[in-house]
Amino acid sequence: MAAIVGLGITAFTEKVKNYSGFSPLNYLINIRISEAIKLLKRPDVNVTDIALDTGFYSSQHFATTFKKLTGYTPSEFRKKNITPTE
Amino acid sequence: MDCIVTIEIGTGAIRVTAFDMNSSLLGSAKGSYPTFHARPDYSEQDPEQIFITMLYILKNFLNEKIHPQKHNIVSICFSSAMHSVLPIDKFGAPIGNAMVWSDNRAKIEAEDLKNSELGKSLYKVTGTPLHAMSPLNKITWLKNNDSERFKASKKFLSIKAYIIQQLTDEYVIDHSVASATGFLNIHQLRWEEEALKRAGITKQHLPELVSVLYSPKSLKKEYQTLLGLHDKIKIIVGSSDGCMATLGAGVWGDGKATITIEESGAVRVVGKEVIQDEQQRIFNYILTEGNYVTGGPTNNAGSTFEWYAKQFGDFTRDYELEECIENMILDAAKVSPGSEGLIFLPYLQGERAPMWNPNARGVYFGLNIKHELKHFVRATIEGVLFAFYSIGKTLQEHRGFKSLSANGTYASFPLLTQIIADIFNLPVHIKMNSGSDSVACGGFLLSATELGMYKSLDEAAQKVKLLANFHPDFHNHSIYMKHFEIFERLGVKLHDEFAAIARLQQDT
């Protein structure tokens, strides 16, 4: 990725970190998890599909990353978030 | 050691800041997120990305700066940008992205309302100018143009209301952010029936109204564990960033005004009464009951400097944008006040106060054969600051002030602060020890007052130490005024041409 924009790895990492507050890898994970959250809130898509669609290599890998970032496993998160308002 | 944490959900970034109980800065962290422009008038942000960014920045900040030092967090106080609209469905899931303050798609709805009798009476009761920024017009736009999304919307939240709901399960909106929606009767602190009717909604579509000092019951267990926070911490929903910046700049009481220069900017005064402007040029927002922040926003501040630097700046030595802007400002110092007769109208993104014209566009006026690049730089800076002066002048028709407090990223450049002093012909104060921004500082003062450390917000605001190191030069002031007269007349005279060129640009 650094090469595409013509920067060294250190400079690239620093620029991404300065902007987003994340390292490049974590920034990518942030975007993937943001997408995953949207899909988890739609009851018609299954968790494994969400994991693969958002670029994780297995549902296990997805679940661990998701829990680390949000404190929930994907299925707990879904259960808590598709209860009707009021 | 006890500490207070503030979380600022800004237009472009989350900023987390911690203070000890003596208001000294313990540390801060920041993470940005993008704004999407699917069409020229659209400005949207992804609520999930904002939420995840907030969670990540907060978690890392706590793990790096707070927990290892065994600091005890007493309170966490939120603030956010105004005017955002996020529709959610019956399960509480966002339907698409949030529309942020700069989203202009509702300009026709705004214009229609402004020209009606209903508009006049709504401005009086809500204090919010009838502009595309206002959630009242944004939701009306959804009703008129995207009925599928409108019908599926169970509630319309602000970005902050969404974040707080995710963390605590409560749907609440504070009086301060609510007072910028166009739906709040600011005299009686209730949703205004006529406004709701106009947008085709009922009060069930909006979160519950609460004071800025409201404390949700607790963080969800999962977030307590994730963030290492105990359930005794007082969560304060807080206010809008504009009101916080005013409090945090120490401007509370008569005779003072703040000038904030970030991406966009504003001039604000504080008082116990709402100011009614016949021409609807100014806003009235609430911090706490009976404390009104009145002022006017400009669209074109830091964003204009950035635009100029990107187009005309010197990047040959691999300068960062910030460095490039710093160098530009050094160049501007080489030119005398008035830029030798070059005048800039900075309306690249239309303008809000005092002209409220989304069609306004940028103009360099008075160009002659002797003008060089450095004159453009100075004229650009002066033009942006003239726009601030237009707002200040409008406010002074209602409430005079004798000094200014400058804050925001660009207020810290001495040349800019001096030009402000000269244009306004008033002393300009800046904060001593500007390690923390005014919004975070306002969050600290609000929390500390709520925790009983100060008797009132007036007392809290007096704790902000200000320096008066910029005094006006009357000679420069009179030069600026000669240029400002032309600046002001051009803005009025070009009204029809602005409309024509905006139409052309829309079609291309």
Q: How far is B57 from chain A (nearest CA, A)?
A: 7
Asked if residue A42 has pLDDT above 90, the reply is no
Question: B240 in helix, strand or coil?
Answer: strand
Which pLDDT score, from 0 to 100, does residue B164 have?
Answer: 97
Is the ipTM higher than 0.90? The answer is: no
Note the pLDDT tens digit of each residue in B379-412: 999 999 999 999 999 999 999 999 999 988 888 8
Q: In B451-494, which residue ranges form alpha helices assigned H by DSSP?
A: 457-462, 474-493
Extract the runs of DSSP E, i.e. beta strands, from B408-485.
428-431, 466-470
- CB contacts of A75 in chain B (<8 Å) are none
B296 touching A, CB under 8 A? no
Q: Hey, what are A61's tokens? A: 């890998």
Q: How far is B101 from chain A (nearest CA, A)?
A: 21
B226-232 contact pairs (CB < 8 A, 24+): B226/A70, B226/A71, B226/B55, B226/B59, B227/A71, B227/B55, B227/B58, B227/B59, B227/B62, B228/B62, B228/B63, B228/B67, B229/B62, B229/B73, B229/B76
B439 close to B8: Cβ distance less than 8 angstroms? yes
Asked if residue A85 has pLDDT above 60, the reply is no
Q: How far is B293 from chain A (nearest CA, A)?
A: 31
| Nearest Cα residue to B92 out of A45, A80, A51 | A80
Q: How far apart are CA B78 and CA B58, in angstroms?
A: 12
All residue ranges of chain B with pLDDT < 70 are 317-319, 432-436, 468, 508
- To probe the interface with B, which of A29, A38, A44 has the most B CB atoms within 10 Å? A38
Which pLDDT score, from 0 to 100, does residue B60 have?
Answer: 93
A84 touching B, CB under 8 A? yes
pTM: 0.90
- CB contacts of B29 in chain A (<8 Å) are 21
Among B56, B222, B226, select the one facing A22 at the smallest CB separation: B56
Which pLDDT score, from 0 to 100, does residue B416 have?
Answer: 95
Which pLDDT score, from 0 to 100, does residue B181 have?
Answer: 97
Rounded to whole angstroms, the maximal C-alpha distance in chain B is 69
Which pLDDT score, from 0 to 100, does residue B190 have?
Answer: 97
Q: How far is A58 from chain B (nearest CA, A)?
A: 21
Which pLDDT score, from 0 to 100, does residue B290 have?
Answer: 85
Length of chain B: 508
Note the pLDDT tens digit of each residue in B226-268: 999 998 999 999 999 999 989 988 877 778 999 999 888 999 9
For A21, nearest residue in chain B (alpha carbons) = B31
Among A71, A76, A82, select the one facing B226 at the smallest CB separation: A71
A23 touching B, CB under 8 A? no
Q: How far is A31 from chain B (nearest CA, A)?
A: 7
Which pLDDT score, from 0 to 100, does residue A10 have?
Answer: 86
B46 touching A, CB under 8 A? yes
Q: How far apart are CA B256 and CA B400, in angstroms?
A: 8
For A29, nearest residue in chain B (alpha carbons) = B52
Label residue B483 exposed, middle or buried (CB < 10 Å: 0-12, 13-18, 19+).
buried
Q: How far is A2 from chain B (nearest CA, A)?
A: 16
Which pLDDT score, from 0 to 100, does residue B434 have?
Answer: 53
- CB contacts of A72 in chain B (<8 Å) are 222
A53 touching B, CB under 8 A? no
Which pLDDT score, from 0 to 100, does residue B435 have?
Answer: 58
Extract the runs of DSSP E, i.e. beta strands, from B368-440.
401-407, 428-431
Check B52 against A22: CB less than 8 A apart: no
Which pLDDT score, from 0 to 100, does residue B163 have?
Answer: 97
Among B31, B51, B88, select the one facing A20 at the smallest CB separation: B31
Q: How far apart are CA B276 and CA B191, in angstroms?
A: 19
Label residue B70 exposed, middle or buried (CB < 10 Å: 0-12, 13-18, 19+).
exposed
Check A71 against B91: CB less than 8 A apart: no
- To probe the interface with A, which of B15, B33, B52 has the most A CB atoms within 10 Å? B52
B132 close to B104: Cβ distance less than 8 angstroms? yes
A19 touching B, CB under 8 A? yes
Which pLDDT score, from 0 to 100, does residue B29 have?
Answer: 93
For A17, nearest residue in chain B (alpha carbons) = B31
Check B93 against A33: CB less than 8 A apart: no
